Amino acid sequence: MLVYFFRRLLYVIPVAIGVSIICFALVHIAPGDPLTAIMSIDATAEEQAEMRAAYGLDKPLPEQYVIWLSKALHGDLGKSIATGRPVAGEVMRAVKNSLLLAFSASIIAFPLGAFLGFLAGYFRDSWIDKAVTTVAIAGVSVPNYWLGIVFVIIFSVKLGWLPAMGAGSPGWSWNYEHIQHLILPAITLAVVPIGIIARTMRALVGEIYTMDFVQALFAKGLTGGDVLRHVMRNAAPTGLSAMGIQLGYLLGGSILIETVFNWPGTGFLLSDAIFKRDLPILQGTILVLALFFVLVNLCVDVAQAFIDPRIKRS
């Protein structure tokens, strides 16, 4: 297992380098000049040149990338063009809030989605299967930002049960005030993963029940509960992979949800940086989110090999 872990860790290095190149290139390919947000309209050519030199934008792109990457490896992601504050501090504060929201949503989505998927797969072609499939398709199809607005109208405006936006007072703690602010965005963010995981597990469990080894287990006299444990063990690696992918999307794909609920996470930070054309914030945030996604996939690969030794041998 240790050899497999280090081998997978070596595979991560070129992936991380590729991710850094893509993050750097995509931001620079976008049209527009990032310095227009902070320079006055009547700035002279000399002032523009000084500003470009101050932010390193006067150098060729390959040289800019090498400088940016070398600083990033030492924890320096530059300074925000819009605010002048260090990017690392801005991104880390936003990442903490996004991690809190993503893991809260995953606590709701993963067990519920897996349970519904197992239920539908076990009772395949029954009314339970059809009901779960309908719920899963609706969860995947409904735009989550629209659902968030509906939740705000119902539970915040009409009923007044929960706050409509924000994360509460500064300094997060698991108290009543902060949990109130977390409930609506977490539930909204969990809807799509519930549908995806439920559909994945339903198809997987239904397929496993048609395999020969399951019929052999029943022929040996095993009860339905004993057979179900074998089915769950065989479904676990694929289900874990689907959950890992969804966790990565939860970490980086919540820009609309965070905007609707004014949640101070990476999605809200990215949205603000896009409108302000703040390149250092965009690069730093995208890089951190991409590396989190790579790290999650690494953990999933190792967990899959631990659950199913056949993966390690292959």
* CA-closest candidate to residue 131, choices 142, 144, 117: 117
What pTM value is reported for the model?
0.76
* CA-closest candidate to residue 105, choices 182, 164, 48: 182
Please give the tally of structural domains in the chain.
1
Burial of 2 per CB tally in 10 Å (0-12, 13-18, 19+) = exposed
Q: Could you say which residues of the chain have pLDDT below 70?
A: 1-5, 27-28, 30-43, 45, 47-48, 55-57, 171-172, 222-225, 252-253, 304-314
- The verdict on residue 114 lying in a domain is yes
pLDDT, tens digit, 9 for 90 and up, residues 148-202:
888 889 888 888 888 877 777 776 677 777 788 888 888 888 888 898 888 888 8
- Owner of token pair 């994945």: 200
- The verdict on residue 150 lying in a domain is yes
* CA end-to-end span of the chain: 13
Q: Quick one: tokens of 135?
A: 């719920």
Q: Quick one: tokens of 95?
A: 């990442």
What lies within 8 Å, CB to CB, of 305 at 6+ separation is 1, 4, 311, 312
To the nearest 10 degrees (0 to 180), the angle between helices 87-122 and 266-276 is 130
What lies within 8 Å, CB to CB, of 8 at 6+ separation is 298, 301, 302
Measured CA to CA, the distance from residue 118 to residue 283 in angstroms comes to 40
- Owner of token pair 């794909």: 253
- The verdict on residue 130 lying in a domain is yes
Alpha carbon 11 to chain centroid distance? 21
pLDDT at residue 314, rounded to an integer: 52
pLDDT at residue 100, rounded to an integer: 85
pLDDT at residue 256, rounded to an integer: 78
CB 236 within 8 A of CB 308: yes
pLDDT at residue 310, rounded to an integer: 59
pLDDT at residue 87, rounded to an integer: 82
pLDDT at residue 1, rounded to an integer: 60
> 61 in the Ramachandran plot: left (φ > 0), alpha (ψ -120 to 50) or beta?
alpha
What lies within 8 Å, CB to CB, of 300 at 6+ separation is 240, 241, 243, 244, 245
Domain of residue 116: give its range: 90-313
- The verdict on residue 84 lying in a domain is no
CATH number where 224 lies: 1.10.3720.10
CB 132 within 8 A of CB 303: no
pLDDT at residue 280, rounded to an integer: 79
pLDDT at residue 294, rounded to an integer: 80
What lies within 8 Å, CB to CB, of 159 at 6+ separation is none
CB 166 within 8 A of CB 181: yes
- The verdict on residue 274 lying in a domain is yes
Cα distances from 158 to residues 152, 163, 177, 178, 184, in angstroms, run 9, 11, 19, 21, 14
How many CB atoms are located within 10 Å of the residue 96 CB? 14
Measured CA to CA, the distance from residue 45 to residue 288 in angstroms comes to 35
pLDDT, tens digit, 9 for 90 and up, residues 60-85:
778 878 887 888 888 777 777 777 78
Task: Quote the DSSP letter at residue 170.
Answer: S
